[in-house]
Homo-oligomer: A and B are copies of this chain.
Amino acid sequence: MNIAVDAIYPSDTVVIREVGLRDGLQLVKKFPSTAAKQDWIDIDYAAGLRHFEVGSYLPASSFPQFADVDTLIGKVATLPGAFSTALALNKRGGLNALAGAADEILCVVSASEAHNMANARRSREDGLKEISEIIALRDASARKPVVTVGIAMAFGCSIAGKDAVPIDEVVRMAVACRDLGADVVSVADTVGYGGPTQVRALARALSRELGNMPIGMHFHDTRGLGIANAAAALDEGVRILDASLGGLGGCPFAPAATGNVVLEDVVFLAQSMGFDVGVDVEKLMAVRAILSREMPDEQLYGQLARAGLPLAA
């Protein structure tokens, strides 16, 4: 069965993807039970979210938090109109993802050669080659999930430096991904180095080169500019944004820093900018109680959760 990219990412709709179940849990020692994750998905879904990055195909011995990835994909499949994403960091992960039922496979390559070598122990070239193999497997598969490529360190690299990743280089990588057959490209500010001016420039350059291909952006609030970057992205026509409930997720390169941009605050931002994202942000915040119970040592972020919504009238 072909999964049409337009069905997951309609061109006229802002999609906010919940990545808390994957990126948000990437580094944690203690993580929610499968049942708690299912409740998390249910509350997100009841609040209006439809896009769930639920896990990663990694060895359960090292990443027990993702051992239930197929169960969660199954959970999302029971929810009408909802889509699941699983991360596949290599060909083995890609094979597992294709054997499973995810609607979207996320592959990752870094825009920074130094980071790709440090993180994946291979060159970007080899990373792209492995992605092309996963895409070939997908193309040969009966079930054809969407393949999205996340380009990490697209706004600067904490190993090579903030100016080590020129926009042209990111665009070149994105075009390479498209040419390999990726359906979506998502550029990530993995370490919170970017600012809104850079976001605008990259969004424009990508849209110029990629035309109608869906472009996503993935921000971390590491240095406080995450929401400003999301605003700039929306302003420039980016229609896919990642975020995690409570701002879960850290960064191995900035240990004390906060994680993904806060989902609740991104929803509030998008709504304040006039985008109908179809999400009830107050319902969404009920997930925080689950996270506090299941991961009492994780700090949850989010200003809206402190202050509440503005008084309506």
Listed in ascending order, the chain A residues whose CB lies under 8 Å from chain B are: 156-159, 161-164, 191-198, 221-225, 227-228, 230-232, 235, 254, 256-258, 262, 265, 268-269, 272-274, 302-304, 306-313
Contacts and interface: CB of A to CB of B under 8 A. Distances in A.
Contacts of A162: 310-313
B313 A192 contact: no
A193 B310 contact: yes
B265 A224 contact: yes
Across chains A and B, which 8 residue pairs bring their CB atoms closest together, nearest first?
A195-B272, A224-B303, A224-B265, A257-B307, A162-B310, A161-B313, A228-B231, A228-B228
A225 B225 contact: no
The secondary-structure label for the interface of chain A is: loop
Contact of A307 (B159, B222, B230, B304): B222
A165 to B, nearest CB: 11
B223 A225 contact: no
A143 to B, nearest CB: 39
Contact of A224 (B257, B304, B313): B304
From A221, A230, A310, residue with most partner B Cβ within 10 Å: A310
Contacts of A195: 231, 268-269, 272-273
A159 B303 CA distance: 20
Contacts of A306: 222, 254, 256-258
B156 A265 contact: no
Nearest to A257: B307
Nearest to A275: B197
Contacts of A274: 197
A274 B201 CA distance: 13
B196 A254 contact: no
Contacts of A258: 303, 306-307
Given A192-B303, A223-B303, A227-B224, A308 B269 contact: no
Given A228-B228, A265-B224, A192 B307 contact: yes
A273 B228 CA distance: 11
A262 B306 CA distance: 17
